[in-house]
Every structure is written in C-alpha cells, then in structure tokens.
Amino acid sequence: MFKNKISPNKTSPNKVLLIATRQIGDVLLTPLLHSIRAAWPEAIIDVLVYTSKGGMLKGNTDCNNVIESDEHPNLAGYLALLKRIFRKYDLAINTQANDRSHQYALIASKKRVGLIPDLKVQSLWKRVLSNSWHLLDNVNTHTIVQNLALVESLNIEKLYEIIPPSNTQAATVLDKLLNFDWRNEKFVVIHPFPMWQYKRWTDAGWKALIEHLISNNMRIVLTGGSAHDELAYCNELASNDPKHIVSIAGKTGFENISKLLQHASAFIGPDTATTHLAAACGTPTLALYGPTNPVKWGPWPKGYAAEKSPWVMTAPYQRVNNVLLLQGLGNCVPCHEEGCNKHKNSESRCMNELPASRVITALEILLTK
C-alpha cells in the first residue's frame, strides 16, 4: 500500500538525507541511493547510518557525506546529531519503519518520504508526519524492491544496480595481505563466521569444503570481521594449511574486499554482508541459508532488475545470474526465526544438518557455465 501526498515538483532538491539506520548489509542493499543520484546529479546526498556501518559506502560517489550515529546514543550524541541535521535538508528519505528513524526524518526536513510498519493506531503519527509513505512488507517483498518503492512518490526512475564500495589503492593493499598472485591464480573467498550463531554452518562442513577446494588446486582466502571469536576461527582454519589458505579477517575493509571479490573464482558464505557484497560484485556466489527468509533477504544477483524477488521461499537450490542460493533442509525452512531457540546465539538445525556434499555439489553447479 502506498500513500502519496507530494505534489509533482520539477525543482530538484538541493540537499537530501537518506536514512539507513540498521545493519551494514542494509546499507549495501540500497540501489535507492543510486536512483536518487541519477535523478538529481547536482544534489548533495548524505546518508545517515549507525556507527561503524558506513563501510559499504566508501568510494561511492552517489553519496556526498556519511553521517554516523550510535544505535543508542546518549544525550550528547543526540544533541550532536540534532545540530548536524536539524532542518538542513530539502528532503528526508527513510528506509526504516521504526520510531527513531521517523524522528530523525522529522528533525532533518519538512518533506519526508518513508516506510510505515503497519496501519495500526500506534503508527498513525508516522503516517500523518510523512508527506508520502509506503507500507512495509517484511515477508514477501525483497528489501531492495521495498526501498525502491519510495521513489514512486518522487517521480524518478528506479535503478536496481548495487554500487559496491571501492578504493583506488585496493590492489596495493591486497598485495601486502596476500601471499600469492591473486591477479592470475585461481582462488575462492570464504566467509565462514557470521556474527550470529543461528546463521553459522558447521566446523566439519567448512573443513571438508576447504579440503575439496585445495584438492582441486584452489587457494582459499578467508574474510571476516575483527571480533575476537571471528579472528580466532579464521586463523585456526588458515593454520591447517598455510600454503593454500590465508586469512585476512579483521585486516581490511569492504572497499578492498570488493576488489578481491572481482578477481575470485567464487565466493561461499552464509547470510552476511560479505555475501551480499560478493553478489553485487558479480562474483559467482554460493549463499548458504537456513532460517533467513530468502524472498526478503536473499543476495541480489548482479544484473537482476525486476519488481519480483529473485528468490522463492523454499527450494533445494535456486540459481539466478551469478548467485546460487542453497537452503538447509527441513519442513520448517525458512522459519524466519533467529535459530531453533529464537535468539541470535541459538543453533539452527537446518544449518547444522547441511552436509558438505550438498555444498560441494551446489558449488559445482554454480561454476558450470
């Protein structure tokens, strides 16, 4: 459902604030930003994100400034943000349906476009204070399609391309991090350790997959964040065969990983921001999904441009363009929950029971032209 209260205006806004205050993957899944830039090339377009979530926008010329705010700021943090954005924008575009993002939009501009969580009385103030709004569908509409729905009130063209982060010095950085000729040798990038337990695959699975890749003369590059557990996990996997496996976990940002992915033979990972980035880079991407709803959160294949999600809710495996999405098996898949015990650090049986043989077969299908 869509409510449009903005009358057509041929004058382009001079300053736009795009609010993307969620996880880092949500910042990447924003072709909306690219659509805005294409429509208004002279405008100043700033993006408001949570602290440390702006890495996906590095080198992206669609964005003029990244404004970071703590997810739960103290009074000083609120006041600093208020000073930075108060009535500084001609238009605020809000990709989130929560209370705080709507408050930020209200503070930033007199004209506001955004998502509304529902039509309940509790959300009435959001509808009243939005010049234009679109009803959030958190199940059957892909996040990219959902965000692009907001341009319907702006009379601009929808562009579906994701712009990966970049760095002109990325090749130099990678030369220092990697112990092989990554420009010419075949290698696979693996992101084995997502932030939350319920998205993780098994230790035995990763080891069997890596052994299979090495037996087929593939080098392995492990990516990951800087959290202690993530670093330790990647370092332990790399220590099993330092000649063929190198971990760059915690050593570089997405702007350099983009360059790496563009040269990789394949990428394999669970539901993480890096998996979405690999898909956007055009890398042959094998995404391992369990509880997560793929219709809503599946990686967006490069070159895909349609209102319909590239993925159906359940299938043994699905392939669209450069992405193959492999789901764990079970009548409950996807449960749309955070693991079997419904919290982020719980186990997911569908991921635990996903055998390496299925992953290896899926990879072979992915790499078959």
pLDDT tens across 160-211, in order?
A: 999 999 999 999 999 999 999 999 999 999 999 999 999 999 999 999 999 9
Peptide bond into 334 cis (omega under 30): yes
Question: Which DSSP state fits 328?
Answer: P
Over its C-alpha atoms, the chain yields an Rg (Å, rounded) of 21
User: What confidence category does residue 8 fall into, taking pLDDT thresholds of 50, 70 and 90?
Assistant: very low
Mean pLDDT value across residues 114-119: 96
- Across all residues in the chain, what is the average pLDDT? 94
- The model's pLDDT over 286-323, given as tens digits with 9 standing for 90+, comes to 999 999 999 999 999 999 999 999 999 999 899 999 99
**Rounded Cα distance, 119 and 344, in Å:** 28
Domains and CATH numbers, the chain: 2-153 (3.40.50.2000), 170-366 (3.40.50.2000)
Q: Which residues have CB under 8 Å from 154's CB, separation 6+? A: 6, 36, 39, 113
Question: Which DSSP state fits 109?
Answer: B
Percentage of the chain exceeding pLDDT 70: 96
Mean pLDDT value across residues 98-104: 95
- The model's pLDDT over 336-367, given as tens digits with 9 standing for 90+, comes to 999 999 999 999 999 999 999 999 999 999 99
Query: Hey, what's the torsion of the CAs at 208, 213, 215, 217, to 10 degrees?
Result: -160
Contact between 197 and 339 (Cβ < 8 Å): yes
